[in-house]
Each structure stands twice: as C-alpha cells, then as structure tokens.
Amino acid sequence: MSKSNFTRRGLLKTSAVAGAGLALPTIFTAQSAHAFTNEPTGGTVTLGFNVPQTGPYADEGADELRAYQLAVEHLNGGGDGGMLNTFSSKELDGTGILGKKVEYVTGDTQTKSDAARASAKSMIEKDGAIMITGGSSSGVAVAVQALCQEAGVIFMAGLTHSNDTTGKDKKANGFRHFFNSYMSGAALAPVLANAYGNDRKAYHLTADYNWGYTTEEAVRASTEAMGWETVAAVKTPLTQTDFSSYIAPVLQSGADTLVLNHYGGNMVTSLTNAVQFGLRDKQVNGKDFQIVVPLYSRLMAKGAGANVKGIFGSTNWHWSLQDEGSKAFVKSFGTKYGFPPSQAAHTTYVQTLLYADAVQRAGSFAPCAVGQALEDFEFDGLGNGKTLYRGADHQCFKDVLVVKGKENPTSEFDLLEIVEVTPAEQVTYAPDHPQMGGAEAVLGACNNGA
Amino acid sequence: MEAIILQILNGLDKGSAYALIALGLTLIFGTLGVVNFAHGALFMIGAFCAVTFSRILTLSHTIIDETQTDFLGNPLKVDVPYLYDLFGQATGDAIIDWAVPLSILFTVPVMMFVGYAMERGLIKHFYNRPHADQILVTFGLAIVLQEVIKYFYGANPIPTPAPQAFAGSLDFGALLGFDPNLIIYPYWRIIYFVFSAVIIGAVFAFLQYTTFGMVVRAGMADRETVGLLGINIDKRFTIMFGLAAAVAGLAGVMYTPINSPNYHMGMDFLVLSFVVVVVGGMGSLPGAVLAGFLLGILESFASMREVLEILPGLNQIIIYLVAIIILLTRPRGLMGRKGVMED
C-alpha cells in the first residue's frame, strides 16, 4: 500500500513558500539577471517623474511635469530642441538616450515623504524606471534620495533647497542642480547689507522643519558676518494658517528687519500678515522696517499679490534671464504652454537633460557609470552660466540670482526683478562645511542595484 | 501689559472666525441633530465666492498693445475689464477695489442655495443614521468639495485684498497712551471682528425675536411636539441649514483679505471649530461664541515667544489641551445643557 506525502498542511506550506517567492518585489529577484537595476533591454528607456500632483504644491508639480514632458519631447527629437541647442555638451542629438526612445511614468508625491517613497518604489519596481527625478520639498527629496540609493537607481532632485539634500543626507546616487540655503544666505547678505546697511536687528520666523532650520542657519550666519544682530528666532508650525500672533510682537522686540524663512503657503500667509500689520510702514531704530524672504518662488509669490513689492529674496533661475539657454527654454516652454516656465520647471528640465547627457557620455545606463560622468562635470548653456556638478557632494555650483518683488509688474508673470547675479565663487563652500553636516557627512558608495 | 493687550486683540479676530463657524455648526447640530464635517468646506466655498465675484468684476476683453512685448517678444496682450467700458477706468477700479465687501451680496444667495442643496440632496438621507455615518458622509463631501475647488482654482493661494481704504494698521497703543508701534492692529481685522459681532447678534436676534426663530427654538427643544402642532418643522430646519451655510460663507468671504484663500482652508478651520463646539457645549449657541473667542485668545497667548521658550510646542496643543480638561471636568461644555454628553 503506497502512502502519499501530499498532505493538506504540506500543500499549504508549499503554496505559501511559492507565493512568497512570487510576491517578492522584482527589485530583489528578477533584476539579478541584469548588471544593474532596471537595465533597459528593448528599444525604449523609462524615466520616473515623481512630482506633487495633489496637495498644496500641486501647481508647482504641474509645472515640473510640463518641463519633463518638454524635455522628453526634445530628447526624442521633437519640438524645437530647446536647450539641446545651447547646451555646451553636444552628445545629445534628438535620438533618445543611447539610441533608445525615452518614455516616462509619473508618480504623485503629495508632498508627503511616505507617499513620495511609495510612488518612487512603484515606478522602480513595477514600471522599470531607470532614473527617478522630481519633488517640490526637501523632506520628500531626502526620503526619495535614500530610497533610490537602496534601490540602485539615480535620483536627480527637483526643487529642494535644504542644505541637507547634498549635505548631511547626501547620497552617492543623488544629484542636485537646484541651489541651497547656504547659497541663498551667501548671495543675499551682501545685497541686504548694501541696501539696508550693516547695523540691523533681525527677527526670524522659521518654518518648523528641515528646510526652515537650514535656511535660518544660513541666513543668520551670513547676515551676522555682515554685522547684523539676530534679536530672536521663532519656529512656526508648518500647519499655521495665521501668523498674526507671531508677527504682532516683532515690533516690540526692537527688531527692524523681519526674515521669513517660509515657503509656499506659509510664505504667502506670513508675508501677507506682515504687510497687513503695516510693518513696512514703520520706522524702528531710526530706519525703515524691512522684510526679507530668503527663497522666492514666482508661482507662490503670485499668491501674495502686491505684498511682494520691494521685498528681497533669492531664486535659482528666472524666465527674464537673457542668456541663450534661458531664452531657448522660455521660447520652447512658452510656445507650447502659453506662459513662461517657473524655476521648478527649469531645474527639472535641466536635470533631465543632464542625466541623458551623462548616460550618453558614459555609454551606459549603469548608475555608477552615470554618476561618474556627472561628477565634476562642467557645463554651460543651461541658463545659469558656467556650472560645476561637484563630485564631492553632487551639488551644482553656479551663479545665484538675488531678486526683488517688482514695483510695477506688466503681467501676472512679471512679479520679480533680478537685482544681482551673484557669481558662483561667492556662494561656493567646502564640502565638509559645518552647515553641510561637517566631516561626518559622506556620500557613501554608489549602488548599481541588481 | 502691551504684549497682553496685543495677544487679546490677535485672539479676537481668530476667535471671530472660530465663533462664526462654530455658530453654524451648532445651529445645524441643534436643529437637525447632524454632525456636519462639511461645514469647513462651506467656509472655504464662501471665500471662493469672493474670488469668483472679483473675477466676474474683472472679466475683460483683450487689446493688443504694440508698444510693449510679452515674454516671447510678441506684442503684449492687455486685458481691459468690461467695467472700464461701462463706467470709465476710475470708477471701474474703485468697484474692483471693493470686490470683497461687495461680494457679500453675491455670497448670501449662493451659500443659501449651496446649504439648501446640500441638506436636501445628501444630508437629509442621514438624519436617522448614527453620528458616525453622518461624520463619514459629510467628511467625504468636504473632501469632494475641496478637490472640486482645486480643480477649478488651482492649489496655490489666490490674493484677494481688502479695499485700499482699509489697508494698513491702527496704532492701538498710541490711543491707549503707550509708545507708538507697540500695539498695532490691522484695520481689516477690526472690521472682521465688528462684522462677526454683527452677524452673531443678527442670528441671535433672528432666533429670539421672530416667530420663525421661536418655532425653530421650540423645534430644537422638542421636535416631536412642534410637529404634532401641525408645523412643518423640517422645512424650517432646512432653511436653518441654508442660514448656517450663509453664516459660514460670510465668515469665509470676509476672511479672504486676512489670508489668501486656498482649497484646504476649510479643513484648517474645521477641526478647531469642532473643538470650539465641544468646549462651548454641544447645541449651545452662546457657548459656541464664547468658546470661539476664548480659544482664539488662548491660542494667541500660547504663540508668544516668552511662552514658547518655557513650553515649546504649546501653541500647537493648547486648544486640544483645553478641550481635554473641559471634557474631563465638565463634559457638557462651558454652556451646554445639563445632561447633554454627560450620560
């Protein structure tokens, strides 16, 4: 009499093991046959655009997505070629990347770190994205950069301004074209000293999160070095919807300058409140009271309306720049969409071209090869003058724009005027600068995944 | 001393908004017994009525200005409001400048209709369902409404300034004999406070001194008996829902110059307003108003630098802390009826 080993328990166990094996993310299994994560094998290559499509930064995310779509069009030989015609590197010829047609998938970061990681993970594992790019917040950028490092894909950061992205939290697989808090402080301080003098008492209101801290630290350090005194620095909750109780005591403190380390909706509200309270009409210590917004975004400055007039800040790029690269980009974007691009659109468009160019020069999509091609790469013609992608921290070093809210705007896009283009040398710092996490912050080794 | 006066003033305008929203919430809870989580969305829709009205006022036709160029180097297209054609530029500009106060005339009928449609179209189907069902459906409605607004108006805040006549601030300290600049308070916030007081007074007067109000109050006390007397109380309660929506809408309209409206402003106020209702006492109209102002002022004090240096983060929890203390020591709230929420 034969006895079968096929029992109900055995079947369940076998099914569970087989199921678990099948359910394992492809990132850990199927890729092992390839040299690196999501190695493209067919005639196409997929890029993952991870932008806020919902939530408070959705308008900025929409502009980033427009720029990505334009970049893909140009890489595949469509449109007028935009900045491909002005880029100093001539590797890209409109035939895709390494001859492969560029396709893309999109994810919604919702400006939440967990949602951004989930959408990036899905694009890597399910859609086979070879590179992830985007984001409109430093918290999101740092989180997604860490994920890409683990997964073995390149992360080309979008709009992220915190020092930490290429400082304390830098990663070998992550690259940032956008400027940072240190650069804003270094560019703004001399202009502020020139306009308002060296003897000022500043009161900081700072958004209570990663970006707020690094911006306050950078602006304080730079302005104090110019002779300013910081009277007080108060952290404000990110969810704050009315800043009156924070702004009202500013005059009582004896401060004559208010620095708003706020971005997005926070910036719109705090600036509007400060102007409503008539701070700018007051005289303190024998000087006119002034307000400073270290990081300007034209898209968001729109929300503050006329309140931005005459207020200094810094920006990564502005559509009114007259270099050939900027003009080409504004023409392409403006013709396609009917309005000028934002700085978020510019940085994401440029990041896509820089990635594609690096792959082309490396002759490979392998993240470590691409990273090597980007490290210490010097280029021009992409809107910010001569730029260095520094190998030590994967941060771009280029001129920084100091801008001021325009007194007499001619259109709804014409909100800011450039008052100074601060040369790259003036905003360059050592890779182990204390504001960047010091000597303890390291890039680590690049990861090819698979 | 000046710091205390300043924070009391600051708390008053915030408290005005809380009180107006909480008043509407309490009206709906007291009459229909519905916990309306979409009430914050009504505040937001009110604010966007002001945005819409100011867009209507600035409806324009385009002319080409050959002397100027746009960002692409083409001749500049200039929008000329139709109001200029009708009344001339100076009068047109003056009307556009007063868009926010004028939009009250537009907002009241729109919000009455929105409230009526919301009650008849959705909420009436949930009268006899548990509060949890009501909360879920109204919360869902709030999310749908804010996404609809975001679809049409975008995610960024939209500047909606007060008339130029009310720009700037009053040096309150100088009036009281303090040094100049110590206690300043924006004119529009003073107007917001006065406006809230008028609206709150009008609602109370309506309920207290009109026959309609008397019937509604009777219905709030004993719905069944009023129904047995042959009065169609449901119809009156529907009108009260419309009235509550209009109050929330007006609170939103007048708030737009204080903060540029955005699609999630309703949610920002909703939770706080519920706390206000609970602290004031569920169903108590004077309680809602008192708690609104009280919590607004407490929140302002908790945001003082001197307080935050001793107790960091207090500004973020103060309202909830007060709610916990009230619920533990006096579950019916400050002015709630005995027995409500106490069993």
Give the residue from A288, A315, A342 where a domain finishes: A315
Of A373 and A299, the one with more pLDDT? A373
Interface predicted TM-score of the whole assembly (ipTM), two decimals: 0.81
- Statement to judge: residues A222 and A266 lie in one domain: yes
CA–CA distance, A2 with A300 (Å, rounded to integer): 78
Instruction: For chain B, say whether A175 makes contact (Cβ under 8 Å).
Output: no
Nearest CA in chain B to A254: B182
Q: A196 and A173, same structural domain?
A: no
Count other C-beta atoms under 10 Å from residue B339's C-beta.
8
> Which of B156, B258, B303 minimises the CB distance to A303?
B156
Beta-carbon separation of B299 and A276 below 8 A: no
pLDDT score for A23: 47
Nearest CA in chain A to B188: A276
Q: Round to whole Å and give the CA distance between B167 and B284.
A: 36
Sign of CA dihedral A352, A358, A361, A365: negative
Q: Are residues A199 and A159 in the same domain?
A: no
Interface test with B, best of A241, A308, A319, A335 (most B CBs within 10 A): A241
Residues A236 and A131 in one domain: no
User: Which of B68, B159, B184 lies closest to A410 in CB terms?
Assistant: B68
Neighbours of B311 (CB within 10 A): 11
In a domain, A157, yes or no: yes
Q: Tell me, yes or no, whether A434 lies in a domain.
A: no
A432, part of any domain: no
Record: contact B157-A269, CB cut-off 8 A:
yes
Residues of B in contact with A56 (CB under 8 A): 155, 262, 264
Whether the per-residue pLDDT at B47 is higher than 50: the answer is: yes
B342 pLDDT tier (thresholds 50, 70, 90) = low
Residue A214 located in a structural domain: yes
A169 Ramachandran zone, left/alpha/beta (phi>0; psi -120 to 50): alpha
pTM above 0.80, yes or no: yes
B188-200 pLDDT per residue, tens: 999 999 999 999 9
- What is the count of structural domains for chain A? 2
Tell me, what's the pLDDT at A32? 46
Which domain range does residue A155 map to? Answer: 44-179+320-394
Which among B7, B72, B182 is the nearest to A334, CB-wise? B72
Instruction: Indicate if A342 and A287 belong to the same structural domain.
Output: no
Instruction: Kindly state the tokens that stand for A89.
Output: 């590197």
Only one residue has tokens 């730029």, namely: A387
Task: State whether A310 and A367 are in the same domain.
Answer: no
pLDDT digits (tens, 9 = 90+) for A111-144: 889 999 999 999 999 999 999 999 888 999 999 9
Residue A125 and residue A232 in one domain: no
Q: Using the predicted structure, report yes or no on whether residue A369 has a pLDDT greater than 90.
A: yes
A152 in any annotated domain: yes
What sign does the dihedral A368-A370-A373-A379 (CA atoms) show?
negative
Contacts of A59 in chain B (CB under 8 A): 154-156
Higher pLDDT, A436 or B131: A436
Closest residue on chain A to B312 (Cα): A235
Are residues A160 and A193 both part of a single domain? Answer: no
- Return the pLDDT at B306: 80
* Final residue in a domain of this structure, among A256, A288, A315: A315
pLDDT at A147 over 70: yes
What is the average pLDDT value for chain B, to the nearest integer? 88
Q: Which of B281, B253, B234 is nearest to B123 (CA)?
A: B234
pLDDT at A7: 54
Is the per-residue pLDDT at A386 higher than 70?
yes
- Give a yes or no: residue A21 inside a domain: no
Closest residue to A241, CB basis, from B6, B7, B265: B265
CATH number, domain containing residue A70: 3.40.50.2300
Evaluate if residue A281 carries a pLDDT over 90.
no
Q: Which of chain B's residues have a Cβ under 8 Å away from the Cβ of A252?
A: 2-3, 6, 182
- pLDDT higher than 80, residue B182: no
Instruction: Supply the DSSP symbol for B64.
Output: E
Average pLDDT over residues B273-289: 86
| DSSP-based three-state secondary structure for A423 | coil
pLDDT for the residue numbered A24: 45
For residue A135, the model assigns a pLDDT of: 84
What's the mean pLDDT in B203-225?
89
Does the pLDDT at position B341 exceed 80?
no
Taking residues A314-336, report their average pLDDT: 96
